[in-house]
Amino acid sequence: MKTVFSKYLVLLNLILITISCKSQTLPLNTLMDDIPQGAYVKDLNNELNPYIGTYKANYKGNEITLFIIKEENRPTNRITKTFFRDALSIKYIVKNSSGLVLQDTSNGNFPNIKLYSLGINSNNNSVTFYYSGTNCKVGWGSIILKRLNSTQLSWEYYPNSRIINDTTCPPGTDTTVYLPVTDDELIFTKQ
């Protein structure tokens, strides 16, 4: 009898803890300092939806295809907290003028390469993305996509540098950044 009572007591405690720890839902552009541990930063007004789709551009002889999707409830880890957020995620394919694939993150072959949104600026219709860089984190930085109209996005990429050596990056590793490094207005068109 005690065992059955103990099991019910444990179950009741778990239910109460779950109810009391239910995460708080916050709007998409909530400041980092205002996001409590375990909260959910949600795209309440569907501000991310206009960016979703497949986009193409040509730059210096290469064709770049972006696949932009919306991830809901994406786990996000910061130094002091973990929370969840709706975010855009980009996978891409870069081909040269001969059609040879230079880099393709759409197929999961590069799980270390991440490209996801950090925030949206509704005033100028832009989204800022964090780019983890290519192999050995070469080229990590930020990318800004600005929505020009319903079918076009402008692209700006601001890479940071990373000093590599044989200790931080094995010899023979491809550290080429295949994404277009430009602060000129490169236009991607929705397909």
pLDDT in tens, 34-44: 999 999 999 99
Considering only 52-66, 70-84, 117-131, 157-171, which range has the smallest mean pLDDT?
157-171
User: Where exactly are the structural domains of the chain?
Assistant: 23-190
Band of residue 10 on the pLDDT scale cut at 50, 70, 90: low
Per-residue buried b or exposed e for 158-182, using 16+ beta carbons within 10 Å of the residue's own CB: ebeeeeeeeeebeeeeeeebbbbee
Considering only 34-38, 100-104, 165-169, which range has the smallest mean pLDDT?
165-169
d(CA 40, CA 24): 6
pLDDT of residue 122: 85
**Level-2 CATH architecture, domain 23-190:** Beta Barrel (2.40)
Mean pLDDT of the chain: 87
d(CA 60, CA 96): 9
Whether this prediction's pTM lies above 0.85 is answered by: no
pLDDT at 143 over 60: yes
Band of residue 6 on the pLDDT scale cut at 50, 70, 90: low
Classify residue 41 as exposed, middle or buried by CB count within 10 Å of its CB (0-12, 13-18, 19+): buried
